[in-house]
Structure 1
Amino acid sequence: MTGPKIKLCEVRKAFGEKRVLDGVNLSIEPGESVAIIGGSGTGKSVTLKCILGLMRPDSGSIEVDGQEIVGARPREIEKVRAKFGMLFQGGALFDSLPVWRNVTFGLTQGKRREPQRMRRLAAATLERVGLGADILDLRPNELSGGMQKRVALARAIAPRPEIIFFDEPTTGLDPIRSDVINDLIVSLTQDLGITALTITHDMVSARKIANRVAMLYNGRIVWHGPRDRLYDSGNPYVDQFVNGRAEGPIR
Structure 2
Amino acid sequence: MSTPAKISLRNVHKAFGPKKVLQGVDLDVAPGESVAIIGGSGTGKSVTLKCVLGLLSPDQGSITVDGVEMIGANRSDRDAMLAKTGMLFQGAALFDSLSVWENVAFGLIEGQGMKPRQARDLAIARLADVGLGAEIANMTPSSLSGGMQKRVGLARAIATEPEILFFDEPTTGIDPIMGDVINDLIVKCTRELGASAVTITHDMASARKIADRVAMLYKGKIIWDGPVADIDQADNPFLQQFVSGEIEGPLDLDLKHL
Give TM-score, length-normalised by structure 2. 0.94
- TM alignment of 1:84-103, pairs within 5 A: 84-103=85-104
Partner of 2:256: none
Letter in 2 for 1:196: A
Cα deviations by residue, 1:163-219 (Å, 9 ceiling, x for unpaired): 000000000111110010000001111111010000000000000000000000000
Per mean C-alpha deviation after superposition, the further-off stretch among 8-17 and 104-113 is: 104-113
What 5-or-longer segments of structure 1 have no aligned partner?
Answer: none
Partner of 2:164: 163
Partner of 2:55: 54
1:115 to partner: Cα distance: 2.0
Partner of 1:7: 8
Q: In the alignment, is residue 131 of structure 1 matched against residue 124 of structure 2?
A: no
For 1:218 and 1:182, locate their aligned partners in 2 and report how far apart those are by CA, in whole Å: 27
Task: Give the length in aligned residue pairs.
Answer: 250
For 1:241 and 1:138, locate their aligned partners in 2 and report how far apart those are by CA, in whole Å: 40
Partner of 2:106: 105
Is the contact between residue 6 and residue 62 of structure 1 (CA under 8 Å) also seen in structure 2? yes
Report the CA distance shift for 1:112/1:59 in structure 2 as closer, same or farther (over 3 A). closer
Partner of 1:70: 71
Q: Any idea what SS the aligned residue of 2:9 has? A: strand
Is the contact between residue 167 and residue 198 of structure 2 (CA under 8 Å) also seen in structure 1? yes
Q: Any idea what SS the aligned residue of 2:48 has? A: helix
For 2:40 and 2:75, locate their aligned partners in 1 and report how far apart those are by CA, in whole Å: 32
Letter in 2 for 1:47: T
Q: In the alignment, is residue 118 of structure 1 matched against residue 119 of structure 2?
A: yes
What 5-or-longer segments of structure 2 have no aligned partner?
Answer: 253-258
1:109 to partner: Cα distance: 2.6
Partner of 2:203: 202
Partner of 1:230: 231
1:232 to partner: Cα distance: 2.1
- After TM superposition, what 4+ stretches of structure 1 lie above 4 angstroms from structure 2? 110-113
Per mean C-alpha deviation after superposition, the further-off stretch among 222-231 and 86-95 is: 222-231
For 2:23 and 2:117, locate their aligned partners in 1 and report how far apart those are by CA, in whole Å: 49
For 2:113 and 2:8, locate their aligned partners in 1 and report how far apart those are by CA, in whole Å: 37
Aligned-residue identity in percent: 63
Letter in 1 for 2:150: K
Partner of 1:30: 31
RMSD of the alignment, in Å? 1.4
Letter in 2 for 1:129: V
Letter in 2 for 1:210: A
Letter in 2 for 1:173: I
Partner of 1:147: 148
Letter in 2 for 1:237: F
Is the contact between residue 83 and residue 111 of structure 2 (CA under 8 Å) also seen in structure 1? no
1:113 to partner: Cα distance: 5.6
Q: Any idea what SS the aligned residue of 2:49 has? A: helix
